[in-house]
Structure 1
């Protein structure tokens, strides 16, 4: 039998919740990502609970143990139980009666096997009791050991329940998988048109997470092959993604937030519209695109250090090695302050001539590695205009 020994199982608050829910014999189990990540030795962010107790019993049992229960998703069987100032979502086992895309008619169940059949992937349908004993109703443990991503039951059925599961499939493949089930790949390709009915906000949420995986290159290549990538991100080309991931590690930037850089590499026609980027996210994409058209020091001066550094890595992925000392050059450009002002050229110049002279002087200053002083720049501006 498989057992996990993750630190979260020693959490007194979680122990109180599990003990309360199981006080009268109901099952109360940790489910999904916490169990999966514990088995993989990955960090655990959230702990979700599945229970055979109906929602009204969950509320009653929690309150009987001195805990507060909030019906945050009661229509879906979810109750948030607050212990020691923290909330834990406890959802009653469910089974599908009818499904209509993302919407479904469900009934509560007291059987873990029926609850597991509603979940997306076998590696996410793993449960653990308070002692860490793992329950595996759908064969998720062998899949997890092989890092094989497989839908629970029939892949097309799972996808038709929610077409966003196509993108979730590629995201989980990028983050946790080494092997993709062929039936799953075929189903994603065959049903990709269903993604047209998914909101761009939801698509953008999944794509951000996918691009933030340690190495999304293989998943993106499979998405392109299946016709999924051009559907959700028209114009995107993932051909250089593996090289970008290598460049990130080579230059020690792998720990930085990277999905904006990777999205910029893809070169999609309208990433902001396709993924419903926020105003700040869209601005960053624009800055990176502008930086790609400039030498790195000038990009840092005009657009900031971050955009310039992103552009250097993207160019490296596309076969343009970074120049020696580029980090220092980018830092210098970011800190540079143009020393010449319009008043320094007045009254000798005015109007369009003044603007043209300032621009020429600035160009010379950038070309000389930001080293020219105000007097030198003034002479350049006035001599060229005389």
Structure 2
């Protein structure tokens, strides 16, 4: 019988929270991502606990135990218990009463099967008690072991409950799926049938899912499938995944960067379509513009910094279908480290205002073109044939 090591799930104070809930004969079970990741030996980000205790009872038990309890989503059955600065989301068993593709009206339930059926994928409907014993009300464990992302029961019904599940389907396959098997055919078909439902989602939710997907070690197969059934065109019109595949091959030894990968997809107005932050939008714009600049590795490093230069070089190589040359990274590092020897104060005797900025830029371009060899005195000695002392 399959079980998990409870120490993989427990954070600071977690066992105390579970004991607090169990002490009055309520069920307290780990659920969802923490169980899934523990069984897959992957890092755990959040600790979610499911219980048959009502939210008010959870609040009372936590406070009686001296824990901080916050009614973060009490209308939907969720209380956050904080112990030793670690949050634990405790949610009462629920069943969906009504859904509209974005939000659900829920009712509390005494049955774990009801709670499991309102989740999205079978691998997310796994529970575990304090000892690590697995409870699998819907038979999701074989799917987890085979690394198959499968919707619970009817895929079409699950998607219509929340159209974001289309994007989650592709994101979960990228992070947890078996790349040798491919995406579940029934799930893929249901996603294709419900593409128009993506229009109902906020751009923030869509952007968040896309960034998580593009942060996977290899998002290529998922993005390709999204393109084939029209999902990618729906959320990012004009995008094309053809350069993503070689980019993932080239950047596999680097930390996955969703914005670098997004730059390879192209598309119309991605910052708005995916509601990127100002910093993300700026990074994307710099990458897209720098890719088409007529600047070599050293110049890229100098003008944009090493990180941007390396990303640009990766994207350029992906577009050209070429392998990366480490010497290009070395040149970019040299350019990033080079310090332009001329400052504005050196030119104040002869230039001011816009003319000063223009002259500084001109001299810097000459210096970069010399492979950073021209000295300060050489740069200042001649200017259009006129001596500058």
Contact 1:31–1:128 (CA<8 Å) still a contact in 2?
Answer: yes
Deviations 1:309-339 (A, max 9, x none): 1001111222244455222211221232333
Distance 1:379 1:55, change over 3 A: same
Q: Which residues of structure 1 form unaligned runs of 5+? A: none
Out of 64-73 and 232-241, give the one that drifted further.
64-73
Deviations 1:179-208 (A, max 9, x none): 321111011111111111111111111111
State the distance in 1 between where 2:244 and 2:130 align. Answer: 42
1:379 Cα deviation from its structure 2 partner: 4.7
Distance 1:91 1:375, change over 3 A: same
The answer on 1:238 being equivalent to 2:241 is yes
State the distance in 2 between where 1:21 and 1:260 align. Answer: 42
State the distance in 1 between where 2:190 and 2:248 align. Answer: 28
State the distance in 1 between where 2:31 and 2:322 align. Answer: 46
Aligned length: 382
Paired residue for 1:263? Answer: 262
State the distance in 2 between where 1:70 and 1:302 align. Answer: 48
Q: For 1:226, which of 223, 226, 229 is the aligned residue? A: 229
> Normalized against structure 1, the TM-score is what?
0.91
Out of 118-127 and 22-31, give the one that drifted further.
22-31
Q: How does 1:288-327 map to 2 (within 5 A)?
A: 288-292=287-291, 293=293, 294-318=295-319, 319-323=321-325, 325-327=327-329
Distance 1:311 1:85, change over 3 A: closer
Paired residue for 2:205? Answer: 202
State the distance in 1 between where 2:87 and 2:353 align. Answer: 64
State the distance in 1 between where 2:48 and 2:326 align. Answer: 49
> Normalized against structure 2, the TM-score is what?
0.90
Q: CA RMSD in A?
A: 2.5
Q: Which residues of structure 2 form unaligned runs of 5+? A: none
Q: How does 1:40-59 map to 2 (within 5 A)?
A: 40-59=40-59
State the distance in 1 between where 2:347 and 2:200 align. Answer: 59
SS of 2:267's partner is coil
Paired residue for 2:70? Answer: 70
State the distance in 2 between where 1:57 and 1:69 align. Answer: 11
Out of 367-376 and 90-99, give the one that drifted further.
367-376
Deviations 1:202-223 (A, max 9, x none): 1111111111011101100001
State the distance in 1 between where 2:386 and 2:217 align. Answer: 52
Q: How does 1:1-386 map to 2 (within 5 A)?
A: 1-9=1-9, 11=11, 13-178=13-178, 179-249=182-252, 252=253, 254-255=254-255, 257-292=256-291, 293=293, 294-318=295-319, 319-323=321-325, 325-340=327-342, 360-379=362-381, 381-383=383-385
